[in-house]
């Protein structure tokens, strides 16, 4: 870097150096700052450095000072994200099932750098041990970028959609023909990332897992007027869904034991209407989307949860329980 050009941006270089490499526990003294500037081809003495730091503070770039023994030291404490906030972001990325292991590592490293070099090293040394099973579709980043752009442009998208067989090989739906969809929004839920689309054929929303998409493209054709109207309502609709599976929304009353209380709050929210019937049993009334996911959630509590109302759902719950028992008996006989 030419000396003249370097001097022109010296204040920015000093601040960026302190932002990246210092904090309250790792300050830098004048000699160290001057030495680092010299490595970049920038000459500076103590008196000039003092004026530079004062200038940064005058313009709102807060550089803190303290004494280490008899030596004055400097550091930047105020960052866009605090250490706990960065740690939460990193943990969320590492535990997100829809991001591959490779992409999770790359993104976590980028997030960690927001805390400066010392904080980043601290965060890297305390890696989360997530039990989440990672998906393997490396095109998720591209899919999200493309779908987000289509949503902003109010245009349709095309993509291939696949399931996995017992060997984790891709089996394409529609015999490999592309889906044409009208995107409304992207939503993350239960370790998966979903695209919400409007279906003019059924006048309702449909959902696709983004990690099961391939060859995502933005179409020239704009979305329909019906989709435009649906976009305004999609947030309310998503808020009322349980775990992203579509189905009929019904008001249900569920009776459950204390062991299920945390899970009930997880599913229905902390504002759920719950009353305590006795020391061991509570009852909830709320809206649920009646879907395979709902039934799976109910049955995981094996006798500690039952539907009280409406009567037809209670009967369906009991019929499903009997069916499970019959199939279990038949499998033992086989």
List domains and CATH numbers for the chain. Answer: 3-75 (1.10.10.10), 83-124 (no CATH), 140-239 (2.30.30.100), 248-333 (3.30.70)
Tens digit of each residue's pLDDT (9 = 90 or more) over 20-38: 888 888 899 999 999 988 8
The whole-number average pLDDT for the span 92-102 is 73
CB 264 within 8 A of CB 253: no
pLDDT band at 161 (very low <50, low <70, confident <90, very high): very high
Predicted local confidence at residue 103, as pLDDT: 79
Q: With b meaning 16 or more CB within 10 Å and e meaning fewer, what string describes 257-269?
A: eeebeeebeebbe
Q: What length does the chain have?
A: 334
307 vs 249, higher pLDDT: 307
Could you count the other beta carbons within 10 Å of the beta carbon of residue 232? Answer: 9
User: Helix, strand, coil shares of the chain as percentages rounded to 5?
Assistant: 45, 25, 25
333 vs 105, higher pLDDT: 105
pLDDT above 80 for 326: no
Question: Could you tell me which residues come within 8 angstroms of residue 299 by beta carbon, excluding any fewer than 6 positions away?
Answer: 320, 321, 324
Tokens of 106: 């790359």
99 vs 191, higher pLDDT: 99
Could you count the other beta carbons within 10 Å of the beta carbon of residue 97? Answer: 16
């Amino acid at each position: 870097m030419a000396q003249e050009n370097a001097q022109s941006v010296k204040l920015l270089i000093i601040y960026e150096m302190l932002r990246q490499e210092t904090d309250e526990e790792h300050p830098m003294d004048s000699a160290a700052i001057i030495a680092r500037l010299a490595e970049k081809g920038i000459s500076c003495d103590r008196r000039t450095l003092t004026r530079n730091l004062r200038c940064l503070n005058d313009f709102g770039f807060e550089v803190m000072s303290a004494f280490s023994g008899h030596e004055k030291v400097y550091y930047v404490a105020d960052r866009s994200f605090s250490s706990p906030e960065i740690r939460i972001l990193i943990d969320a990325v590492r535990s997100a099932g829809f991001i591959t292991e490779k992409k999770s590592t790359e993104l976590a490293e980028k997030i960690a750098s927001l805390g400066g070099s010392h904080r980043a090293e601290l965060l890297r040394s305390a890696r989360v041990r997530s039990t989440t099973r990672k998906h393997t579709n490396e095109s998720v980043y591209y899919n999200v970028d493309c779908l987000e752009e289509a949503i902003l442009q109010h245009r349709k998208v095309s993509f291939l959609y696949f399931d996995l067989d017992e060997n984790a090989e891709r089996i394409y739906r529609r015999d490999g023909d592309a889906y044409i969809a009208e995107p409304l929004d992207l939503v993350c839920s239960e370790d998966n990332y979903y695209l919400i689309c409007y279906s003019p054929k059924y006048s309702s929303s449909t959902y696709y897992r983004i990690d099961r998409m391939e060859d995502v493209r933005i179409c020239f054709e704009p979305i329909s007027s019906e989709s435009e109207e649906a976009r305004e309502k999609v947030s309310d609709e998503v808020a009322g869904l349980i775990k992203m599976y579509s189905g009929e929304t019904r008001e249900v009353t569920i009776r459950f034991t204390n062991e299920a209380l945390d899970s009930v709050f997880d599913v229905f929210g902390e504002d759920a209407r719950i009353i305590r019937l006795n020391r061991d049993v509570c009852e909830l009334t709320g809206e649920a989307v009646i879907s395979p996911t709902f039934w799976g959630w109910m049955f995981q509590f094996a006798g500690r949860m039952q539907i009280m109302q409406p009567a037809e759902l209670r009967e369906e719950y009991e019929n499903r329980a009997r069916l499970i028992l019959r199939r279990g008996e038949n499998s033992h006989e086989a």
